[in-house]
């Protein structure tokens, strides 16, 4: 059983708590989709001022396909190199966009989104399998603490994929 926990520490401490909760949720489950679904639900519960959180999974070598998420219905397929998700997957690095309306080629799925962070998602062998995408209605929502905390979260999740 999962009980919602109140996060009362520093942002860094709270990301540590979040990552420990994730590990408890996924440690005994071998199914990738189940683990990604719980990870997106956990992030949705933890993160403030977001309107979409979820995963796009690599299909073949040329596109990402919508995976488990929380939020409004979303774009289903994103070519590698297109939009923030496609660019993060192609480059294999985290991308933070303070104002998505200024990002060349941004793919708008939710009109309320103003900022975004996308992190590469790898399996336990280090192979790229997709991205974690998080949108916010607030401009400049994601800072360096979020980058560090979410990278640790994704690294922990990767060991169960």
Question: What SS3 state is found at 35?
Answer: helix
Round to the nearest angstrom and report the end-to-end CA distance of the chain.
Answer: 22
| Domains (range + CATH), the chain | 11-158 (3.30.450.40)
pLDDT of residue 107: 86
Taking the C-alpha atoms of residue 142 and residue 73, their distance in angstroms, rounded to an integer, is 22
Q: Which residues contact 140 (CB under 8 A, 6 or more apart)?
A: 98, 99, 115
Q: pLDDT by residue (tens digit) across 47-102?
A: 999 999 999 999 998 999 999 999 999 999 999 999 999 999 999 999 999 999 99
Return the half-sphere exposure (C-beta side, CA atoms, 13 A cut-off) of residue 137: 9
Q: Specify the higher pLDDT residue, 10 or 148.
A: 148
Query: Is residue 109 very low, low, confident or very high in pLDDT (cuts 50, 70, 90)?
Result: confident
Structure tokens at 122: 């790898």
Cβ–Cβ < 8 Å for 113, 51: yes
| Residue with the two structure tokens 């708008």 | 108
Nearest residue to 120 (alpha-carbon basis) of 134, 106, 130: 130
Taking the C-alpha atoms of residue 118 and residue 27, their distance in angstroms, rounded to an integer, is 24
Cβ–Cβ < 8 Å for 75, 93: no
Q: pLDDT by residue (tens digit) across 13-55?
A: 999 999 999 999 999 999 999 999 999 999 999 999 999 999 9
């Amino acid at each position: 059983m999962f009980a919602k926990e109140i996060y009362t520490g520093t942002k860094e401490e709270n990301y540590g708590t979040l990552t420990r909760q994730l590990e408890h949720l996924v440690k005994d489950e071998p199914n990738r989709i189940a683990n990604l679904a719980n990870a997106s639900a956990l992030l949705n519960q933890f993160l403030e001022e977001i309107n979409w959180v979820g995963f796009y999974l690599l299909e073949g070598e040329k596109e990402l396909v919508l995976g488990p998420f929380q939020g409004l219905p979303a774009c289903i397929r994103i070519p590698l190199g297109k939009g923030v998700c496609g660019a993060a997957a192609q480059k294999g690095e985290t991308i933070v966009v303070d104002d998505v309306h200024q990002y060349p080629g941004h793919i708008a799925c939710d009109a309320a989104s103003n900022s975004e962070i996308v992190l590469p998602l790898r399996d336990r062998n280090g192979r790229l399998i997709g991205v974690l995408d998080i949108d916010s209605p607030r401009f400049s929502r994601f800072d360096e603490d979020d980058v560090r905390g979410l990278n640790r979260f994704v690294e922990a999740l990767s060991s169960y994929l």
